[in-house]
Amino acid sequence: MSFGSRARAAMEAYGPLCVGIDPHSALLEQWGVGDTFEGLERFAATCVEAFAGQVAFVKPQAAFFERFGSRGVAVLERTIADLRHTGSLVVLDVKRGDIGSTAAAYAEAYLDEDSPIAADAVTVSPYLGFGSVQPFLTEAARNDAGVFVLALTSNPEAAEVQHARGADGRTVAGTILAHLAEHNAGAEPMGSFGAVVGATIGQTDEDLAINGPLLVPGLGAQGGTVDDLRRLFGDVWPQVVPSVSRAVLEAGPDVAELRASAGRLTEQLVQW
């Protein structure tokens, strides 16, 4: 099955929520496990127990593992392996962006099924030109995986790039979205190539109907609300994958509380 097909099946089974696994130092301390390698291991294992087969998407943020060096990357590998094939899809948040053989090597690392760190999907940055993400799209298609391309992020400084207009009058964000719609054309139930669109962007006139999933970070601790999602994504709601991290993770380290926190948010989302 393509990633788009598996994503749709997961959303129908569990609801659309994506829960991030972000073991940053403050959260490790808050959980009482300590900002140490051992704390990282306990944090990651607890998240796997809480979310695997319970939510549609789980999104480990690679940077928080990489700061512990090779041992941290080994924990990330194990976390991905433990999550995959549980019903939940793993979106590895790495936001890689490069060209040529380097981009191809990143794509193989994260999307080739034979790689020890292969995920169901990966996040990438297109700001070396949309053509620079082609190795990721090619590798994803080869492995029935997915790619989420940064398009309309909600950090304040994003506007100077994403809202800039080219010679054809289109914004950079609009061009990225148009490329994704082209790559997803004709795919059913939806394409495998998604966009990252922040929940706190306020408003947009861009066409978000790309026939692919829309990964929407910013719900919860960053200020995004379910009402914001309703306002921004009404016409494309079936493709929206709201992503939350701290608002759920702060319920830890108790597994039951973590599941309950994710469940309450999922219920809000599916009731609309």
How does DSSP classify residue 56? S
d(CA 252, CA 271): 25
Helix axes 100-111, 134-142, angle to 10 degrees: 30
Q: In a 10 Å sphere around its CB, with 0-12 CB exposed, 13-18 middle and 19+ buried, how is residue 1 labelled?
A: exposed
Distance CA 215, CA 223 (A): 16
Q: What's the CA gap between 194 and 123, in Å, rounded?
A: 9
59 in catalytic set: no
Rounded to an integer, what distance in angstroms lies between the CA atom of residue 212 and that of residue 252? 32
Of residues 24, 95, 246, 259, which has the active-site annotation?
95
User: Catalytic positions, please?
Assistant: 95
